[in-house]
Structure formats: C-alpha cells, structure tokens
Structure 1
C-alpha cells in the first residue's frame, strides 16, 4: 500500500515536469490548445487539474493500491508518449 503511494507520487512529479515543459514551450500547436483554456479559466487551471488527478490517485491508492498504480502508471505512460511526440516532431 505504501509502496504504491510512493510510486504514484514520483509518477506525479514526472507528470508535473512534462506538463510544465509543454505549457511553457513556445510551440504553436500547444499554445493554440492551451491559450483558450487559460483565458477562460485562469493561468493555473491545468496545473490544478493535474494536482487533483494526483491527489485522487493517492487517496484511492489506500483502498485499491494495485488498480491505482496501474491506472496512474498508464496515465503517466500516455503523458510521456505525447510529450515525446510533441517535443520531437519536425517543425
């Protein structure tokens, strides 16, 4: 139970780092998708959403440690793939 919480926490750190790198990039595709949300809901809305996902995964890991570890791990893998595709594409 505690081990899954630790893994989810470190995956959350990785998710925040990837999220910040994408949000702060000057890529036109990313800016086109991020700017309308930031104008409508505020600059830190996407960070708050990321935090809520991490918090929920950590809370639910107390009851379902394996399921939350797998789900949040899958979420982190998808984030990593999207991050790699967006940062390594040709411009």
Structure 2
C-alpha cells in the first residue's frame, strides 16, 4: 500500500514540477545555470531519484517513508501553488 501511495504522489509531483517549469515564472530565472541544464530536465531527474529512493525504502521494510514522502509532496504542492498563482 505504501508503494502505491508513493507512486501516486510521485505522479502528482512530476505533474506539478512540469507545470512550474512551463510557467515561465520570473523566479525560474534566479536558479543557478547548472540547474537549467537541458531545459530543467536535471531537476526532473532529481525528482525521479527522490521518488526512486522513497519507493526502494518502502519496498525494503520502511513503510513509514510514505508519510515522509507525503510531507515532501505537500510542500511541493504548496510551493507549486505559490509559483503558479504568482504569489511569490
């Protein structure tokens, strides 16, 4: 169950991440140049590594990691909402 929850939250995180990258928000111009490599795909790769680590931990007897990943996803959601609604 933890793996399914993490996987579904991961889909949401990727969706929000992609929406933020495509928003052309002025804040994106403030990130360092190495993070903008390949049009933001480096940051998407980082997102994938975090998802993979959470799923591997949950699959190897750490079901509580789902709560940590849910917290991470909540913070991602809040940050994406702030950026996409131009509140920052």
TM-score by length of 1: 0.84
Number of positions where the alignment pairs a residue of Structure 1 with one of Structure 2: 84
Question: Per-residue deviation at 1:31?
Answer: 3.0
Distance 1:64 1:29 in 2: 36
- Give the corresponding residue for 2:13: 15
Q: Which runs of 5+ in 1 are unaligned?
A: none
RMSD: 1.6
Task: Report 1:1-91 matches (<5 A).
Answer: 3-33=1-31, 36=33, 37-38=35-36, 42-43=37-38, 44-62=41-59, 63-65=61-63, 67-89=64-86
Q: Which runs of 5+ in 2 are unaligned?
A: none
Question: Per-residue deviation at 1:90?
Answer: 5.1
Q: Which moved more, 1:5-14 or 1:80-89?
A: 80-89
Distance 2:85 2:23 in 1: 13
Q: Is the 8 A contact 1:23 1:31 kept in 2?
A: no
Distance 1:90 1:81 in 2: 11
